[in-house]
């Protein structure tokens, strides 16, 4: 699998707006520093809580804008930018953000062990 498929798969699962499906992409003790999170999340319970709120945004869509790839043994690090948009009332809100994903190859396949996302300052 080419590393870009890991991000494509994450974006596809996010588009389902199913917090359980998104959470299952993360390691059981994975870490998430979410774009709109006030605190760092660790473990499936906290990651799911974050995505319950984030995925509830009306008309949520995301796309990758850029990607750099690093291969480190059983780890793949993806860094780049993506854009999310959703509707707030009659307005479309867009947030461009930087991301870093650390994927590890485990018994159940590639899982996210660390994910950091931060909005790009305007």
User: What letters, b where the CB count within 10 A reaches 16 and e where it falls short, cover 54-77?
Assistant: bbebeebebebeebeeeeeeeebe
pTM of the full predicted structure? 0.93
Which residues make Cβ contacts (< 8 Å) with residue 30, sequence separation at least 6? 42, 43, 44, 47, 111, 112, 113, 114, 115
Instruction: Give residue 1's pLDDT.
Output: 62
- Phi first, then psi: what are they for 17, rounded to 5°? 60, 30
Could you tell me the domains of the chain?
3-119 (3.10.450.50)
Instruction: Give residue 2's pLDDT.
Output: 74
Instruction: Give residue 4's pLDDT.
Output: 81
Which residues make Cβ contacts (< 8 Å) with residue 49, sequence separation at least 6? 41
Q: From first to last of its 122 residues, what are the pLDDT tens digits of the chain?
A: 677 899 999 999 999 999 999 999 999 999 999 988 899 999 999 999 999 999 999 999 999 999 999 999 899 999 999 999 999 999 999 999 999 999 999 999 999 999 999 999 87
């Amino acid at each position: 699998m080419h590393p870009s498929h890991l991000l494509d798969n994450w974006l596809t699962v996010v588009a389902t707006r199913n917090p359980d499906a998104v959470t299952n992409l993360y390691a059981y003790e994975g870490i998430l520093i979410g774009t709109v999170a006030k605190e760092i999340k660790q473990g499936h319970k906290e990651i799911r809580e974050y995505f319950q709120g984030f995925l509830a945004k009306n008309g949520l869509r995301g796309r990758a804008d850029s990607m750099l790839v690093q291969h480190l043994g059983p780890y793949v690090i993806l860094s780049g930018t993506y854009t999310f948009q959703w509707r707030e009332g009659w307005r479309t809100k867009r947030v461009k953000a930087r991301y870093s994903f650390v994927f590890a190859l485990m018994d159940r396949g590639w899982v996210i062990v660390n994910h950091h996302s931060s909005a790009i300052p305007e």
